Structure 1
Amino acid sequence: MWYFACKAVNTNSSSILKPKHLLLALVTVIAWGLNFIAIHIGLEKLPPILLCTARFALTALPWVFFLPRPKAPFKLIVGYGIFTFAIQFGLLFGGMYLGLPAGLSSLVIQVQVFFSIGLAALIFGDVPSVWKVFGALISFIGIGIVASHVDGNTTFIGLALTLLSALSWATGNIFSKKIAAKSPVALVAWGSLVATPVMLTVSYIFEGPELIMHSIRGLTAETIIAVLYIVYLSSFVGYGIWGFLLNTYPTAVVTPFTLLVPVVGLLSAAFFLGEELSSWKLIACVFIMAGLVFNLLEKQIRALASRRTSVG
């Protein structure tokens, strides 16, 4: 995967993925969708901040000794590590730990797309189009549906933390854009190195040494496999393939595949964890996904609309 991420060159201007690259895109989508199942399993034995610490430590070490540091000011790498990893995953894991089911978490976190658009408008002056604003409004109707169904199984605090996690991810995207790393895997490793001592300190202060030691002593094979999945399949393999695809094809060709991540997340949560696919969850999914479609496929939708107008 490191070879893909570091050596890929933008030599393919095709708007259609080759079959082998389509397979790689689907592998990444499935890996990221199933990642929420792995997080759920990990949280059964480990408190959320300690699980984050384990993830970042294994993602950073020993790989930072083999992957060159991205050529950017270190303060930008620190900002990326804090927002993209420490805060984002601390809040996401905390949200799931405090009551937002794995399937819904995989769906709600996708609104980071719209937070990214809003922050880009504020910081870079990238004013969003009417289509993007419309897409955001549609998606947040779905979030409103989720919020209206908070109960013992789907908590408001879990939803709130996951939304803040999405905002932190969007903030990290701003740092990522400024860094413009040639190797996304190297950036992941170095960002994780920044996040590791931060999360270890937070875990020690808020979760306490007694709970940390008790959790470590209670580790099971299932928990260890879940942590390894989160680190290697979701982080290294996922980001490695994704970086290769983005460097090989136009961004507009690759990014729509992220629409499949919450689909995999919801279906796998229902299959593996027995989460109920109630009607309100499906309706919320339709709204959130429809908004994402408007955002990611804006050019195609505008072209279709203009063709229909010219025909009419």
Structure 2
Amino acid sequence: MKPADILIAVMVAIIWGLAFLASRIALDELSPELMTALRFTIAAVPCLFVRRPKVAWSLLIAISFTLFLGQFLSQAYGIAPVGLTSVVVQSQALFTIGFAVLAFGERPTPMQTLGIVVAAVGLLMICGTVGYDFSVPAFAVLMISPVSFAVGNLLLRRARGVPMFDLFAWLCLASAVPLFALALIANGPASTWTSLTHMSLRSALCMLMLGGISTSIAYWLWGRLLRDHPAAQVVPFALLVPFVGSAASSIVFGERFGPLRLAGMLTVIGGIAVMVLAKRPQVLPKTA
């Protein structure tokens, strides 16, 4: 990778790490449904200028509801300490490989299998800390995020050959519409309108960061990197995300990690590192 591309990859990882912080701040004023709806509404603005990519509506909605709506709404509902949330979401690598075995017959390499085991052990260690500063139901809801992320990753494979920026803009639109409907049902029209009209400058800036930068621009840049370089060179930069999220949360919110949770977080990141740095999985024979 060229130095400029490396810089872009690092910048995207930093943006995504700080996005967890922005989400937590925005949730002080906005409901999970409304915050997520605003995020994708802002990111969907380019739909006014770009055509819908040549992808079936059924596939577009399926990708949108998993990769975006399911992933980010569950984060907003179950958001735990920010640093921990950023680690749990990155465990999507574990589920992506597991689901690829079931969906595409991809056989994990021995190194990937080791990474899965290590990451799973780390998640179990984190489970051992549930009940101290976040609840069991919150952790269960949060785990929906990496699972949805993984399913969306696999569905995204079926949308190859289309402009990445255009695709992500329309994916955001497909999520924004039902999310606004959900916000109106869950919170009521009056409460939703009040939240929108009385939003503080701090929350407004957080939403612009989440929708315009973290979702629209960062995903587009990441897609370009994956288009121009092998995934093995690009994906490891995502390992920076939980470190950025944890460090930012420690500075802003004073978040501290007990020995077991810290060990679990580092174990998960270590397992993910083994998985993403391993060679690509083999495809099982058709007779298998």
**What TM-score do the two structures reach when normalised by structure 2?**
0.92
Give 1:282 shift: 2.0
Look up the match of 2:264.
284
CA contact (8 A) 1:84 1:168 kept: yes
SS in 1 for 2:22: helix
Look up the match of 2:101.
121
Give 1:295 shift: 0.5
Look up the match of 2:74.
91
Give the Cα separation in 2 of the matches to 1:125 and 1:67.
Answer: 36
CA contact (8 A) 2:129 2:261 kept: no
Look up the match of 2:87.
107
Pick from 148, 158, 173 the counterpart of residue 153 of structure 2. Answer: 173
Pick from 50, 59, 64 the counterpart of residue 43 of structure 2. Answer: 59
Which ranges of 4 or more aligned residues in structure 1 deviate by more than 4 Å?
A: none
Give 1:65 shift: 2.4
Look up the match of 1:229.
209
Look up the match of 1:38.
22
Alignment of 1:1-312 (within 5 A): 17-61=1-45, 63-96=46-79, 100-299=80-279
Kindly provide the CA deviation profile for residues 254-289 of structure 1, in whole angstroms up to 9, marking residues without a partner as x: 111111110111111101221113322321122101
Give the Cα separation in 1 of the matches to 2:233 and 2:154.
Answer: 21
Give the Cα separation in 1 of the matches to 2:58 and 2:102.
Answer: 21
Give 1:39 shift: 0.3
Kindly provide the CA deviation profile for residues 70-123 of structure 1, in whole angstroms up to 9, marking residues without a partner as x: 222221101111111122211111111xxx111111000011111111221111
Identity %: 30
CA contact (8 A) 1:181 1:187 kept: no
Give the residue type in structure 2 aligned to 1:74. Answer: W
Kindly provide the CA deviation profile for residues 5-47 of structure 1, in whole angstroms up to 9, marking residues without a partner as x: xxxxxxxxxxxx2222221111111001000000001101000
Look up the match of 1:8.
none
Give 1:216 shift: 2.2
Question: Where does structure 1 lack aligned partners over 5 or more consecutive residues?
Answer: 1-16, 301-312
Give the Cα separation in 1 of the matches to 2:161 and 2:261.
Answer: 37
Give the Cα separation in 2 of the matches to 1:174 and 1:52.
Answer: 22
Give the Cα separation in 2 of the matches to 1:207 and 1:174.
Answer: 33
Look up the match of 1:14.
none
Kindly provide the CA deviation profile for residues 133-153 of structure 1, in whole angstroms up to 9, marking residues without a partner as x: 221121121111211112252
Kindly provide the CA deviation profile for residues 160-212 of structure 1, in whole angstroms up to 9, marking residues without a partner as x: 11111111111111221111153222221101111112111212222223432
SS in 2 for 1:46: coil
Give the residue type in structure 2 aligned to 1:30. Answer: I
Give the Cα separation in 1 of the matches to 2:208 and 2:142.
Answer: 23
Give the Cα separation in 2 of the matches to 1:28 and 1:137.
Answer: 28
CA contact (8 A) 2:41 2:211 kept: no
Bigger Rg, structure 1 or 2: 1
Give the residue type in structure 2 aligned to 1:77. Answer: L
Aligned residues: 280
Give the residue type in structure 1 aligned to 2:36. Answer: C
SS in 1 for 2:143: helix
